[in-house]
Amino acid sequence: MFDFFTPTHPFGGQTLRLVAQAQQGGGDVFDIARTCNKIEPGDKDGWEREWLNLAQHIEAKAKEALAAGYKQTAVQYFFHANQYYRMADVFLTFAQETKKAERFRKAQENFRAAANLHQPKIEIITVRCGSEEYDGYFCHPVNPKSGKWSAVFFIGGADSYAEEIYFAARPMLDRGWAVLLVDTPGRGSSIYLKGIKTRSDYEVPGKACIDYLMNRPEIDAERIGLVGISMAGYYAPRVAAFDKRIKALIAWSGCYGILEDLYDFCVHLQPTVQRLLGGVSDDEARRLLKDYTMAGIAKNITCPTLITHGAADTLMSVEGAKRLFSEIGAKDKALRIYDQADPAGRIHCSHDYWAHNVPFMLDWLEERL
C-alpha cells in the first residue's frame, strides 16, 4: 500500500492524478484504493498486474450491463475501464512499446464504447495537419445557451491522451461550452499508434485544431478558448502566441522552456520525454529541447491569460511559470501560485485541489469567452 493523498513516490503521484479525474467520472475512488492496497511501492510488475486486473474486471461488467440494456451503467464502467487500462501502461518503458500500444488500444476501445452511448454526444473526429492526421473527439456541451456555442480546445501534457483528459474537461462541458480533444503530436494515438513525435512548433498542429473548430457550424468563432495542462503549459502558450483567433488562454501549470523547467528539473521524466521525441538519446533530447522555449515568443501572447501552478510542483518548475508570466505580452494576465498559504494545490497540476482550482480557472474563463 502507498499513500496517494500526500504522495512521496511516483506511484502515489500517478494515483492522485487518477483520483482527481475520478471526481468527474474517470474511476471509482474505492476501487482505486482497494487496488493500491495490493501494490507495494516500486513493484512495477505488481502495478501493471493489478491495474490490468481491475481494467479487465470493469470492462467485463460494462459489457454485461450493455447486454442487459443498462446503457448508463455501461457508460460508467467503460469510462472507468479506459482509465484503468491507462494506469497499467504508466510505468512501461520505451522498450515495451508494443505492450504500451496494446494498453492504449484497450483504453481507447473502452472510451469509444462509452462515447458511442453518451449523451450529450461525443463525436469521434480527425484533424488533418499537412501529411499528418490526428484522432480526437468533439464533445457537445451540457445544456448550452441558445445560439452558437463557445468552445475550448484542451491540450493534454506529456503522457496524457484525449481519452484521459476528457474527465478534466467535463466541468467545461457543464458550463455549456463545447470541447475539442485531439491527440496532437507526441500524445495518445499519435505517438502510440502512428509514431508522430512531438514538435517544438506546436503552433502548427494547434492552428489545424483551431481551423477545425472554426469550420464547425455550431461554434461561435469569436468565443474560442485554449487550455493546456501539465507539459501543455508549453504547448498551449506556444499556440496562443501565433493564433489571434484564441480569445483567452489558461496554462494549467506553466512552462517557459521544457529543457530547463521539466527535463532537467525532474530526472524521472527524462525517459518519457525521450520517447515523445522519437525514442532519442539523452544527448539528442537535450539538443532538440533547446527549441522548446517561449524565449522571444511569449511577448506575442496578447489574449487574456491565466497561469496556475503549485509552488511545490516536483515535475515542472514553478520558476518557469513565473518567467513565462513575466514575458507574456497580454495586458490582462494573472498568475496564481498555490503555496503554504493555501490548504492544498501546491503539487503538480494541483491534483489535490481540483474542487477549488478548476472552478477558479473556469470562472476566470467564463468572464472572457
* Closest to 250 in 3D by CA, of 186, 309, 204: 309
- Model confidence at 292: pLDDT above 80: yes
Angstrom distance (rounded) from CA 325 to CA 37 = 41
Contact by Cβ (8 Å): 261, 319: yes
pLDDT tens for 37-91 read 999 989 999 999 999 999 999 999 999 999 999 999 999 999 999 999 999 999 9
Tell me what pLDDT residue 339 has: 98
pLDDT tens for 199-210 read 999 999 999 999
Tell me what pLDDT residue 10 has: 86
Which strands form 248-252's sheet, in the order they lie side by side?
122-129, 132-139, 178-182, 149-155, 219-229, 248-252, 305-310, 333-338
pLDDT band at 5 (very low <50, low <70, confident <90, very high): low
Q: Which fold has domain 1-118?
A: de novo design (two linked rop proteins) (1.20.1440)
- Model confidence at 3: pLDDT above 90: no
3-state secondary structure of 218: coil
Domain extents in the chain: 1-118, 120-369
Average pLDDT, the chain: 96
Peptide bond into 217 cis (omega under 30): no
- Model confidence at 1: pLDDT above 60: no
Q: What would the grid cell of residue 260 be?
A: 530547463
* Closest to 48 in 3D by CA, of 117, 130, 103: 103
CA atoms within 13 A on the CB side of 166: 30
Tell me what pLDDT residue 360 has: 98
Q: Which stretches does DSSP call E strand in the chain?
A: 122-129, 132-139, 149-155, 178-182, 219-229, 248-252, 305-310, 333-338
> Distances from the Cα of 288 to the Cαs of 18, 204, 277, 326, in angstroms?
31, 17, 8, 25
Contact by Cβ (8 Å): 360, 331: no
Class of 120-369 in CATH: alpha beta
Tell me what pLDDT residue 4 has: 72
Q: Mean per-residue pLDDT for 79-105?
A: 95
Residues β-bridged to residue 135: 126
> Distances from the Cα of 104 to the Cαs of 49, 159, 188, in angstroms?
15, 11, 8
pLDDT band at 8 (very low <50, low <70, confident <90, very high): confident
Tell me what pLDDT residue 9 has: 81
pLDDT tens for 229-239 read 999 999 999 99
Let me know if the fold of 1-118 is the same as that of 120-369.
Answer: no
pLDDT band at 2 (very low <50, low <70, confident <90, very high): low
Tell me what pLDDT residue 95 has: 86
How do 305-310 and 248-252 pair as beta strands? parallel
Q: What would the grid cell of residue 336 be?
A: 496564481
Tell me what pLDDT residue 7 has: 72
pLDDT tens for 160-175 read 999 999 999 999 999 9
Q: What would the grid cell of residue 98 be?
A: 508494443
